[in-house]
Chain A
Amino acid sequence: MRRSSGQAALASFAGLVCLFLVLPSLIVVPMSFNADNLLRFPPQGFSLTWYQTYFGQEDWQSATWNSLEIALSVTALATALGTVAALALIRGRIALRSLYIYLMLTPMIVPPIVSAVSMYGVFAQFKLVGTLPGMVLAHTVLALPFVIINVAAVLQRMDWRVEQAARSLGASALQAFFLVTLPLIRPGLIVAAIFAFITSFDEVVVALYISGSRAVTLPVQMWSGLRFEINPVVAAVSSLLLGLSVASLLAIGLLRRVATGERGTST
């Protein structure tokens, strides 16, 4: 009896924490249909004004396209570089292996403001501030550790005898990698790519420094919309981004299930 009441208390506490974690994000959805341009809860009336403004205004649209272009390039570059590095880490011999791991994890550990400030100095010298390539390079550095961690994890779980079998049956190293290993680690690669995309697409602090005035990204544009007075368009953008987050969370959940299913059959 005492035990079950304790469990009920724990469960209701967990429920409250869930609300604390989720509610402040979900609240942006009703706010986006506010007919008033003042921040007031509950929102007054119903309108699609803020969505219209978002889709109609040049600065919001160019910020969105910049963000997509940067994030997609980062996804390609970071996934390629990171997969190769993870392969070297798990399969190859690396001198000073643990030093290598520490160095590759630094982008994740260094406080964003410190990365931003120090990158700014160097990027300005090379005229990379305010350019899309500059943003791609900066965000690729930040995304690399997430790719390496995710790909290294699937590589570690993979059964190498399958690749050895391919080699002993006459496949070249490259053939074995592209025809055997790659399909086996594909779910992990997709998870890594999504991580890379989100890292770039959501990043704001480094972007504030490197994007300048000509490569403004969506988070930077939102930052300006929150910094001094609240621009109600942010509510519409936020709701759209929230939809994107829920979609990617579901996608990751499904992929993880596929990945663990494969692990179950291979070991």
Chain B
Amino acid sequence: MASSGAAPGARDRRQARHHADPDRRRLTRLGLLGLPALAFVAVFLLYPLALLIETSFHSKAGDWSLEQYARIATTPVYGLVLWKTAWVAGLVTLIDFVVGYPFAVALTRARGAWRLVLLAAVLMPFWTNLLVRTYGWIVVLHPNGLLNTLLIRLGLITEPIELVQNTTGVLIGMTQIMLPYMVLPIAAQIEKMDRRLLQAARSLGASATRTFWHVYFPLTLPGVFAGALVTLVLSLGFFVIPALLGGRRDVLIAQLIDFNLTKVLNWEFAAALGTLLLMVTMGLFLAAQRWFRLDSLWTEAS
């Protein structure tokens, strides 16, 4: 499109292009079509988030202060909630990696109807209402539920085990809900792998185990990081599962925010907790950007 042949000065060329290239102007005009959606997100989410952050730096009386953050840092019970949140999220991520990696391998190796079954099983959760799935877990884990009835009939236990209203319930439920977020990026990464590298390793004399650990696994690491990051971040902020499957001692940060806003009506303190969760989430995503392009992985996973 740009004029070729003649070599005028850089400024002339820029000016010439500015005036003469209708294509470029058209593209800029097309770019303006991105504004309505941006305005929408800005007004209804970015502005509210900015207000939340601002509020978190206010004292109850309304003047600027770090009082809310000092309170989080110095009150042992809040430290305990943060620690438990990190611990539950970390454990869920670890279990999902251990379960999800071999499942992703199986998914990429499966063919025909078996592949469809595995794919449906991993995609169905995305389409199933979270409360339906949570209710399903209550039916499975309840003292009179599927698992306890089964174990008692088999004679393995005599009294129902407490599986719900405690941390066990939260871990089981969250592990299942998050598993697809771990499996899909890993499976996408395996599909992208250049199989000739594996053949090369084998033909150069590496054993199957050695090929797996030195070639196959390292090549899947970007998928593992992506899956682990999404699982960790979603688990850190999870509200529904801990609230419905956990007991009174399983308060995680999301419930603490909810409790402070709706029960205590301490807007400033809830804002500080929310800001903390927001910063940790954003920080993890930005740190992860250094290793891989997250947006491309989202597109593949969805």
Chain A residues close to B by CB (< 8 Å): 3, 7, 10-11, 13-14, 17-18, 20-28, 31, 38-42, 81-82, 84-85, 87-89, 91-95, 100-101, 103-115, 117-123, 137-138, 140-141, 144, 146, 148-150, 152-153, 195, 198, 201-202, 204-205, 219, 222-223, 226-227, 230, 234-235, 238, 241-242, 245-246, 248-249, 252
Question: At the interface with chain A, which of B66-74, B97-105, B193-201?
Answer: B97-105
List chain A residues, Cβ under 8 A from B215: none
Q: Is the CB of A113 within 8 A of B258?
A: yes
Complex CA distance for A32 and B183, rounded to whole angstroms: 31
List chain B residues, Cβ under 8 A from A108: 298
Given contacts A87-B33, A245-B128, contact A103 B38 (CB under 8 A): yes
Given contacts A117-B274, A121-B51, A141-B41, contact A89 B34 (CB under 8 A): yes
Q: Is the CB of A122 within 8 A of B48?
A: yes
List chain A residues, Cβ under 8 A from B118: 14, 18
Q: Is the CB of A245 within 8 A of B129?
A: yes
Complex CA distance for A150 and B129, rounded to whole angstroms: 21
Q: Is the CB of B146 within 8 A of A27?
A: yes
Q: Is the CB of B146 within 8 A of A111?
A: no
Q: Is the CB of B121 within 8 A of A113?
A: no
Q: Is the CB of B45 within 8 A of A107?
A: yes
Closest to A31 in B: B139
Closest to B258 in A: A113
Question: At the interface with chain A, which of B4-12, B57-65, B75-83, B234-242?
Answer: B234-242
Nearest Cβ in chain B — how far from A179, in angstroms?
18
Kindly list the 4 A-B residue pairs having the minimum CB-CB distance in the complex, ordered from nearest.
A111-B237, A92-B30, A92-B31, A88-B34
List chain A residues, Cβ under 8 A from B138: 39, 226, 230
Q: Tell me the dominant secondary structure on chain B's binding face.
A: helix
List chain A residues, Cβ under 8 A from B214: none
Complex CA distance for A91 and B299, rounded to whole angstroms: 18
List chain B residues, Cβ under 8 A from A222: 129, 131-132, 135
List chain B residues, Cβ under 8 A from A93: 24, 27-28, 30-31
Nearest Cβ in chain B — how far from A221, in angstroms?
10
Q: Is the CB of A141 within 8 A of B40?
A: yes
Within B169-185, the residues touching A (CB, 8 Å) are 176, 179-180
Complex CA distance for A110 and B52, rounded to whole angstroms: 13
The one of A24, A106, A138 in contact with B176, judged by C-beta atoms closer than 8 angstroms, is A24
Q: Is the CB of A109 within 8 A of B233?
A: yes
List chain A residues, Cβ under 8 A from B144: 38-41
* B149, CB-defined interface residue at 8 Å: yes
Closest to A240 in B: B132
List chain B residues, Cβ under 8 A from A223: 131, 240, 244
- Per-position 1/0 for B97-130, Cβ under 8 A of A: 0010011011101100010011011111101111
Nearest Cβ in chain B — how far from A146, in angstroms?
7
List chain A residues, Cβ under 8 A from B93: none
Given contacts A18-B118, A81-B37, A103-B41, contact A226 B131 (CB under 8 A): yes
Q: Is the CB of A28 within 8 A of B278?
A: no
Given contacts A18-B121, A21-B176, 16 further A-B contacts (CB under 8 A): A17-B121, A21-B125, A41-B140, A88-B30, A88-B33, A93-B27, A94-B34, A106-B41, A114-B52, A222-B131, A222-B132, A223-B244, A235-B135, A235-B139, A241-B128, A246-B124
Nearest Cβ in chain A — how far from B144, in angstroms?
4
Closest to A194 in B: B127
Q: Is the CB of B132 within 8 A of A25?
A: yes
The one of B32, B124, B132, B176 in contact with A88, judged by C-beta atoms closer than 8 angstroms, is B32
* Max chain B C-beta neighbours (<10 A), residue from A27, A93, A117: A117
- Per-position 1/0 for B265-281, Cβ under 8 A of A: 00100110010011001
Given contacts A88-B32, A149-B298, A230-B138, contact A106 B46 (CB under 8 A): yes
List chain A residues, Cβ under 8 A from B145: 39, 41
Complex CA distance for A13 and B101, rounded to whole angstroms: 11
Closest to B140 in A: A24
Nearest Cβ in chain B — how far from A74, in angstroms?
12
Closest to B119 in A: A253
Closest to B137 in A: A24
